[in-house]
């Protein structure tokens, strides 16, 4: 497994950073908030005007890359845009382009913590609703699934050849961060 402890490389999994140096990296669905700047960017929409980065455009369910093309894949806040039925297939597809021993970093919203933030009076219901359902401000920017920290390990456990190293809270408690390795 490549060395990728974000405590050393970058301050938090969600913070923008160069990304791991000296490896072939891919960020999927970074949109206008691309976070791993030295990684190849893949998205459904071309955000090059907003970001100044170059994007490969396509469907994240079918990546236009050969098997084992990357040592590192980073995907933040995209998995929840696919339906529950598609989750495993999508994760298997993202795993396919990783080399054995390569690293997949995932971030998804934590639905339970988002609700608890609302119930604590910290977050309004409209904002909470947006975090659960997506902002829906442009086509495709809506969610079709929800996850929580406690059950996320069971979700990724169904993907063949994917080994979970870490699963913890991020994004001030409202996100789930998972560090996985392709076996």
Partner 1 sequence: MNTSAVEQRIAAGLEIGGGNRPWRRDFEQFDAVDHNAETGLHYTLGNARQLPYSDETFPYVYSSNLLEHFRIGETVRILTEWARVVRVGGTLEIIVPDALGILHSYFCGEISWDECTSRIRGTEDVLNQHHAAFTLVEFPAIIACVPTLRLAYCRACAEGCGINARAVRVAGS
Distance CA 95, CA 69 (A): 10
Closest approach of partner 1 to the CB of residue 119, in Å? 5
| Residue 166 CA from chain centroid, whole number | 14
Distance CA 121, CA 76 (A): 26
Q: Does 119 bind partner 1 (CB under 8 A)?
A: yes
Contact call for residue 154 and partner 1 (CB under 8 A) = yes
Burial class (CB in 10 A: 0-12, 13-18, 19+), 148: middle
User: Contacting partner 1 (CB under 8 A), which of 83, 135, 158, 169?
Assistant: 83
115-121: long-range contacts at Cβ-Cβ below 8 A with a sequence spacing of 24 or more?
A: 117/173, 117/174
> Which listed residue (15, 57, 89, 150) binds partner 1 by CB under 8 A?
150
Q: How far is the CB of 168 from partner 1 (least distance, A)?
A: 14
Nearer to partner 1, 99 or 146 (CB): 146
* Pairing state between β 98-109 and 175-182: antiparallel
Contact 142, 81 (CB under 8 A): yes
Q: Does 81 bind partner 1 (CB under 8 A)?
A: no
The residue among 54 and 83 lying less far from partner 1, judged by its C-beta, is: 83
Q: Is 84 in the site for partner 1 (CB under 8 A)?
A: yes
129 binds partner 1 (CB under 8 A): yes
Is 112 an interacting residue with respect to partner 1 (CB under 8 A)? yes
Between 89 and 150, whose beta carbon lies closer to partner 1? 150
Q: Using CA atoms, how far apart are residues 1 and 155, in angstroms rounded to an integer?
A: 21
- Sheet containing 175-182: order of strands: 55-57, 40-43, 25-28, 70-76, 98-109, 175-182, 162-170
Based on CB atoms, which residue is closest to partner 1, 51 or 145?
Answer: 145
Instruction: Tell me: does residue 88 bind partner 1 (CB under 8 A).
Output: no
Chain positions contacting partner 1, by CB under 8 A: 83-84, 111-112, 115-116, 119-120, 125, 129, 132-133, 143-151, 154
């Amino acid at each position: 497994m490549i060395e990728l402890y974000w405590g050393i490389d970058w301050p938090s999994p969600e913070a923008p950073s160069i990304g791991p140096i000296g490896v072939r990296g891919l960020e999927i669905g970074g949109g206008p908030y691309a976070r791993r700047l030295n990684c190849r960017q893949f998205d459904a929409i071309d955000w090059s005007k907003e970001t100044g980065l170059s994007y490969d455009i396509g469907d994240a369910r079918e990546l236009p890359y050969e098997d084992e093309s990357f040592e590192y894949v980073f995907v933040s806040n995209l998995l929840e845009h696919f339906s529950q039925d598609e989750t495993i297939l999508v994760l298997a597809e993202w795993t396919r382009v990783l080399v054995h021993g390569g690293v997949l970093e995932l971030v998804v919203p934590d639905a339970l913590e988002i609700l608890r933030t609302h119930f604590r009076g910290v977050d309004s219901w409209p904002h909470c609703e947006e975090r659960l359902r997506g902002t829906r401000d442009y086509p495709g920017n809506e969610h079709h699934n929800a996850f929580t920290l406690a059950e996320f390990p069971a979700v990724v456990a169904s993907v063949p050849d994917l080994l979970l190293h870490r699963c913890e809270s991020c994004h001030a408690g409202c996100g789930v961060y998972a560090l996985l390795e392709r076996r």
